[in-house]
């Protein structure tokens, strides 16, 4: 592993990964305006070669497409990669409860034992591996007791098919149930300068039980990257097209924040996105920051953020800039 990359443990599992991780939702294409397989593979391989070994994917990202691309990319690099994928969004059966339709296919939330046993085999096949480092329940299933779900996950762990257990998109009561029924190693939740609710709800519980926290949308779907011009237009199925958070007014606020962060960025010879990621990793309770990339250049830019250590004075300055500029941004 690149010795300059910050590394951290995934809870009490014994699995160690780079603090910056590569999120591959966009690589699956769905809700991101399509995907380019060659560029996606290059992004994953560039990440691993730069020491960003945590690669996060999910079956729902393109109905298996993202996992298949990750599988192709890690061939010959599997021993260096820390692969996180998910279960619980099922388009193979009608069990659970309907969540959404993807390309006309109904997708249900279902975390029953037989569903998990089926899903893990499909993920292993698509990824081209015989084990998954971190297996995460993607969205919570109100039709299945969490105790049943945890028992199924612990059986997979005992069988060597997964190395650590995680849960995503849950509330405080569900998190308490998870930690009360087995060894939960990680949670994965939306967190950024604009999305800080879990600081009061989930992170205190996670820290109490030594559960790692992976932030997703660390750059708020790219809004906080500083690279989206106020005049840019989104097209196709890109989820940002009709998102009020991406209004021109809000993008102008981000541009003002970028200007305010310029002195800190200059000290570290870094971009705004890199400073935002480094800030995220400095927040109490946040263990890993997942950042999307669709080509090798973006992947290497994210990797650089995993080498930046911000001082207490810089963190204070960044917090002041956030408070001053990211006000009344639409949710």
pLDDT of the residue at 28: 55
Angle formed at CA 261 by CA 278 and CA 203, multiple of 5 degrees: 40
Q: What tens digit of pLDDT does each residue of 109-133 get?
A: 999 999 999 999 999 999 999 999 9
pTM: 0.92
pLDDT of the residue at 247: 85
Tell me the CA distances in angstroms from 45 to 69, 97, 300, one per residue in order: 11, 37, 10
Tokens representing residue 282 in the block: 């400095």
3 state DSSP class of 258 = helix
Active site residues: 61
Domain 7-228+272-308 - what CATH class? Answer: alpha beta
Contact by Cβ (8 Å): 326, 240: no
Whether 2 has a pLDDT exceeding 80, the answer reads no
pLDDT of the residue at 231: 67
pLDDT-derived band of residue 1, with 50, 70 and 90 as boundaries? very low
pLDDT of the residue at 305: 95
List strand residue ranges (DSSP E) for the chain, in order.
Answer: 7-9, 16-18, 20-23, 54-56, 82-87, 89-90, 97-102, 105-109, 134-137, 165-168, 186-190, 212-216, 288-292
pLDDT of the residue at 236: 65
Q: How long, in residues, is the chain? A: 331
pLDDT of the residue at 32: 47
Query: How much is the average pLDDT of 260-264?
Result: 96
Query: How much is the average pLDDT of 129-138?
Result: 98
Angle formed at CA 288 by CA 266 and CA 117, multiple of 5 degrees: 150
């Amino acid at each position: 592993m690149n010795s300059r990359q910050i590394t951290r443990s995934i809870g009490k599992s014994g699995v160690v990964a780079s603090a910056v991780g590569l999120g591959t939702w966009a690589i699956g294409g769905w809700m991101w305006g399509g995907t380019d397989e060659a560029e996606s593979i290059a992004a994953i391989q560039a990440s691993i070669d730069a020491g960003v070994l945590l690669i996060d994917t999910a079956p729902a990202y393109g109905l298996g497409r993202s996992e298949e691309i990750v599988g192709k990319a890690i061939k010959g690099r599997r021993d260096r990669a820390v692969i996180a994928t998910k279960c619980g969004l099922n388009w193979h059966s009608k069990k659970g409860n309907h969540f959404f339709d993807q390309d006309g296919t109904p997708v249900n939330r279902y975390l029953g034992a037989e569903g998990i046993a089926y899903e893990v085999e499909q993920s292993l096949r698509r990824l081209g591996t015989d084990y998954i480092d971190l297996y995460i329940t993607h969205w919570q299933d109100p039709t299945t007791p969490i105790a049943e779900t945890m028992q199924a996950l612990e059986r997979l762990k005992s069988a060597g098919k997964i190395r650590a257990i995680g849960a995503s998109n849950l509330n405080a009561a569900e998190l308490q149930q998870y930690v009360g029924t087995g060894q939960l190693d990680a949670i994965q939740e939306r967190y950024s300068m604009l999305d800080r609710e879990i600081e009061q709800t989930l992170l205190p519980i996670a820290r109490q039980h030594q559960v790692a926290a992976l932030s997703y949308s660390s750059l708020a779907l790219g809004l906080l990257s500083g690279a989206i011009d106020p005049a840019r237009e989104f097209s196709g199925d890109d989820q940002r097209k009709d998102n009020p958070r991406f209004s021109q007014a809000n993008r102008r606020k981000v541009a003002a924040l970028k200007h305010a962060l310029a002195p800190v960025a200059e000290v570290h010879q870094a971009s705004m996105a890199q400073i935002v990621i480094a800030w995220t990793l400095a927040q109490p309770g946040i263990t890993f920051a997942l950042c999307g990339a669709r080509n090798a250049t973006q992947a290497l830019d994210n990797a650089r953020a995993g080498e930046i250590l911000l001082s207490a004075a810089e963190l204070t300055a960044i917090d002041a800039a956030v408070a001053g500029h990211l006000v009344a941004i639409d949710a």
